[in-house]
Structures are given as C-alpha cells and as structure tokens.
C-alpha cells in the first residue's frame, strides 16, 4: 500500500494505514502531511476498533472490571499519543 498524503510505501494493511494516518506511530511511522480532519477520523476509527476488541474480550472472558480498566487505559494512551503528535 501507499499513503496518498506522504507517498510512504509498504504500509502493509488497513490496520497499519489507519495508525499511520492517525499519527499514533503504532507499528508504523506517523504521516506528517495528513490533513487534520483525516487524522481525527482515523484516530476515532482506531479508538472504536480498540473498544470493540475490549468488548469482545469482556464477553469471552467475563472480566468486566479489569477490561474496563483496559478501556480507560487505552483512551488515556490514545489521548496522550494524539497530544504528543500535535
């Protein structure tokens, strides 16, 4: 895959592309030329995907309390990563 904003090549999948555009730097470098509205949209998508994974984990394991802590930690981490990128 290739990022249409920065022309970076070898972003191997949608997961990594979303993180690249969200500028989280998770498993892939952050896009330095992505538009702010696209960055926000991708960050929201990444956040929703993480919430869904945690919800699935809760339903499979029945670990509501610890998974809710994980969810709150994920929210804080995404906010921190977003503020560091700004």
**Residue 24 belongs to a domain:** yes
What is the predicted pLDDT for the residue at 60?
65
What is the predicted pLDDT for the residue at 67?
54
**Residue 7 belongs to a domain:** no
Domains held by the chain: number: 1
Residue 66 is part of which domain span? Answer: 14-85
Tell me phi and psi for residue 7, to 5 degrees.
Answer: 65, 15
Q: Which helix (H) or strand (E) holds 40?
A: helix 36-61
pLDDT in tens, the chain (86 residues): 888 999 888 767 888 888 899 998 777 889 999 999 999 999 999 889 888 888 887 776 555 555 566 667 777 877 887 777 65
**Residue 9 belongs to a domain:** no
Query: In the chain, what are the helix, strand and coil shares in percent, each to the nearest 5?
Result: 65, 0, 30
pTM: 0.60
Burial class (CB in 10 A: 0-12, 13-18, 19+), 86: exposed
Locate 13 and state its tokens.
């999948």
* Alpha carbon 64 to its chain's center: 22
């Amino acid at each position: 895959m290739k990022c249409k904003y920065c022309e970076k090549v070898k972003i191997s999948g949608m997961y990594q592309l979303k993180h690249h555009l969200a500028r989280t730097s998770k498993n892939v470098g952050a896009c330095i030329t992505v538009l702010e509205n696209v960055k926000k949209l991708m960050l929201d998508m990444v956040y929703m995907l993480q919430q869904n994974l945690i919800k699935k984990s809760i339903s499979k394991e029945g670990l509501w309390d610890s998974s809710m802590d994980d969810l709150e930690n994920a929210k804080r981490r995404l906010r921190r990563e977003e503020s560091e990128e700004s």
